[in-house]
Structure 1
């Protein structure tokens, strides 16, 4: 009798054990025959798509998911088609919160790696495959961007070759196919058609083959406080004392290339040396924004614009990076290239052309200083989109990604100005009824610009890259005794000095809270003194024309950091 009971208990324990290890049923068919999947802890859309033999895009479209990187536990998804599910690898990736917001803190790695149990033991070395291909087995900590760099390919090309719908999602043990003939020592990456369109013709005798990016050792710098200053012809010691008084850790200085190399090959480093010395001596981190080609390098002398041969800019940037290696922390490549006044060239405004300039500058900088951070030129927020005078910054950013910007940058620059709209406001809700204009398009809103950029970045698998607001702020004519041009700057009359102070502090706070913003550079500290009270740049200054602090200065100094 006891032996029978013992057998029964053993059977019950075995049944219970089987039940415990069996996967929870998460898929069911509704009355119409459609498959419904309930999202489980640790799942992401890429895994779910693989399980049902479909694509991330198909599931996202069926369920009206605008951001495939953000789903939540318990969410019920309709699976397109009726193909039976396949086994799903386990994952340690945490699921996004139901609100769809990104938790403050360090953003996701550039391409999230799923910790899955591999079917084959991973090998640290590439494996040969039939047909001349090489098989790379994904290792812990790797992502598709780094793998592409290893084989001198672009992320987009490697993803397309392997049929990977979302380059942001690969897993440990996954076997990545490398095309025949591609090795880690031969540069074979060709410029894409999107990049080549609208770029200068290849010099006779030169090759169109692009070398892969050099070693990149730049840190992925998160949120911090910054301010733009104007040091030329000013008392640099006094200015940097003010920066220290504000409790600011980053300083941006604009470098007008045309001023420092008026003759080809004859660079006047002296004034730049003085500025770098002054900032570096204060202990602040340095961002240099370099734009505006000299006339000798351009095919037009109208307004500002790029050089005819982008290699001339790359040469200047390479020499600069070599000269200031270990001292200048970051370089912003150009300023508002989506505007004709900053990118005046017979070839016209072009995101693909800009990315080609960026590619050459990035390569030169990294060769001289691998730790330097390369930031894309902050775009001018604008809804104007005639393609001649301006390209809508959201449109331009998408075009930049189509041209491969993610492979040639460490951070995405932005100019999320707020005009007369409070930092938390959104288009188009008549946030301030007394404001007549400058509120009928998303480009007029600080937070919305950041959110739109983040959405575009995530849609392009670039969720691990920070947005650097290299220029932001709110202007006010209050207390300056000037009447700004009503057509272009009338909005500054609607913001008092006290409101300006409140908006700036809240702008910094938002950048810190949302979790995907890097150093924020307030525009500006001392332009009232440098340019004079009648110059529109004075409207944004923290100091008045005499160098006295305006309310915004005192608010930035006093705010919690």
Structure 2
């Protein structure tokens, strides 16, 4: 009965833009990639968030780019008519002042901008015209040693300018925000967004990125991100949910049952169909990274288990339209 309820359809007012995170694509063989793309296409994936990790692409200096796997992924996305959101993030040691990579930001935002410009010029003709700048910059674990709204805006400004110079029609999305409490090394999403607007971010983003894991109210509620955007007269821009999901194994309070994961997925896409100015919703993640039994819940966000067997959320993703 639960599966029947989950798979039922509901009235929709806005086009559904079904996205997917799949970081494991970067480590697949060409045949594995083709098989994955065919499967993603079969369940209705329209958008794919592809990681362009600067620390991996230029680990030793700015003269060499390791992009062969990205070339394969972008080519297949074009072949299968799946749009790409490119996530540009992290930094190699040679560009971050000699700190341990990857989460220390660049010492000079212009070096990051040059990298973003190269990516834009390389992939815009293949249809990659949407770029997200950094991942969860309101976490110290992603922006070491602690979040800095002013420094993030400097990076965003430099990247935005470089991307627009290379492709004037490109869309730039601010880094998807995590949902922590305020601590010495983290900032609440709303506080961080307000701070980057105070530092001039409005002119350097086309959409706001967010990761509302379990916190949709903090995005669209009376004190949510949309309200912050309205405060700065920027409410007409879209919010892109560049990650959303829940793990079905491991230890911790975030772990849910497989039926509950499917229900969360359906709720997310139902919300996206009802809300104006909401961009694509990117489910996190396509497949579990680990065999059953590991304590780390990050292993188990997938629609598929590690052995490729399907969770109920896989069927739910296929059914939402």
Q: CA deviation at 1:361?
A: 0.3
Structure 1: distance between partners of 2:155 and 2:218? 28
TM-score in terms of structure 2 length: 0.88
Partner of 2:229 in structure 1? Answer: 457
TM-score in terms of structure 1 length: 0.51
Q: Is the 8 A contact 1:303 1:344 kept in 2?
A: no
Q: CA deviation at 1:276?
A: 1.1
1:20-67: CA deviation from partner (whole Å, max 9, x where unpaired): xxxxxxxxxxxxxxxxxxxxxxxxxxxxxxxxxxxxxxxxxxxxxxxx
Structure 2: distance between partners of 1:543 and 1:393? 30
Are 2:142 and 1:342 aligned?
yes
Alpha carbons of 1:365 and 1:302: their partners in 2 closer, same or farther (altered >3 Å)?
A: closer
Structure 2: distance between partners of 1:375 and 1:271? 23
The gaps in structure 2 that reach 5 residues or longer are 1-12
Structure 2: distance between partners of 1:532 and 1:389? 32
Structure 1: distance between partners of 2:67 and 2:22? 19
Q: Is the 8 A contact 1:302 1:344 kept in 2?
A: no
Q: Is the 8 A contact 2:137 2:147 kept in 1?
A: yes
Structure 2: distance between partners of 1:491 and 1:250? 26
Alpha carbons of 1:502 and 1:551: their partners in 2 closer, same or farther (altered >3 Å)?
A: same
The gaps in structure 1 that reach 5 residues or longer are 1-103, 106-221, 419-444, 478-483
Alpha carbons of 1:223 and 1:350: their partners in 2 closer, same or farther (altered >3 Å)?
A: farther
Are 2:61 and 1:256 aligned?
no
1:277-318: CA deviation from partner (whole Å, max 9, x where unpaired): 122211100011111100111122166121111111100000
Segments of 4+ in structure 1 off by > 6 A? none
Partner of 1:316 in structure 2? Answer: 115
Structure 1: distance between partners of 2:107 and 2:16? 36
Partner of 1:333 in structure 2? Answer: 133
Are 2:316 and 1:555 aligned?
yes
Structure 1: distance between partners of 2:102 and 2:161? 27
Q: CA deviation at 1:464?
A: 1.1
Structure 1: distance between partners of 2:71 and 2:92? 20
1:312-331: CA deviation from partner (whole Å, max 9, x where unpaired): 11000000000001321311
Q: 1:390 aligns with which of 173, 179, 186?
A: 186
Structure 2: distance between partners of 1:554 and 1:329? 30
Larger Rg: 1
Alpha carbons of 1:270 and 1:491: their partners in 2 closer, same or farther (altered >3 Å)?
A: closer
Structure 1: distance between partners of 2:242 and 2:260? 22
Q: CA deviation at 1:499?
A: 1.5
Are 2:21 and 1:228 aligned?
yes
RMSD value, Cα: 1.7
Partner of 2:210 in structure 1? Answer: 414
Alpha carbons of 1:286 and 1:402: their partners in 2 closer, same or farther (altered >3 Å)?
A: same
Alignment map for 1:56-95 (pairs within 5 Å): none
Instruction: Select the structure that is richer in helix.
Output: 2
Are 2:270 and 1:509 aligned?
yes
Q: Is the 8 A contact 1:381 1:449 kept in 2?
A: no
Alpha carbons of 1:407 and 1:474: their partners in 2 closer, same or farther (altered >3 Å)?
A: same
1:74-100: CA deviation from partner (whole Å, max 9, x where unpaired): xxxxxxxxxxxxxxxxxxxxxxxxxxx
1:462-501: CA deviation from partner (whole Å, max 9, x where unpaired): 0110000000112222xxxxxx23xxx3330xx2111110
Alpha carbons of 1:475 and 1:396: their partners in 2 closer, same or farther (altered >3 Å)?
A: same
Q: Is the 8 A contact 1:223 1:517 kept in 2?
A: no
Q: CA deviation at 1:395?
A: 0.6
Alignment map for 1:268-307 (pairs within 5 Å): 268-299=66-97, 300-301=99-100, 304-307=103-106
Structure 2: distance between partners of 1:252 and 1:406? 23
Alignment map for 1:143-542 (pairs within 5 Å): 224-230=17-23, 231-234=25-28, 235-265=32-62, 266-299=64-97, 300-301=99-100, 304-326=103-125, 327-345=127-145, 348-383=146-181, 385-386=182-183, 388-418=184-214, 445-451=215-221, 452-477=224-249, 484-485=250-251, 489-492=252-255, 495-526=256-287, 528-529=288-289, 533=292, 534=294, 536-542=297-303
Q: Secondary structure at the match of 1:520?
A: strand
Alpha carbons of 1:303 and 1:273: their partners in 2 closer, same or farther (altered >3 Å)?
A: closer
Q: CA deviation at 1:400?
A: 0.9
Structure 2: distance between partners of 1:302 and 1:405? 26
Tell me the number of residue pairs that the alignment of Structure 1 and Structure 2 aligns.
298
Structure 2: distance between partners of 1:308 and 1:223? 40
Q: Is the 8 A contact 2:37 2:77 kept in 1?
A: yes
Q: Secondary structure at the match of 2:135?
A: coil
Partner of 2:8 in structure 1? Answer: none
Q: Is the 8 A contact 2:51 2:86 kept in 1?
A: yes
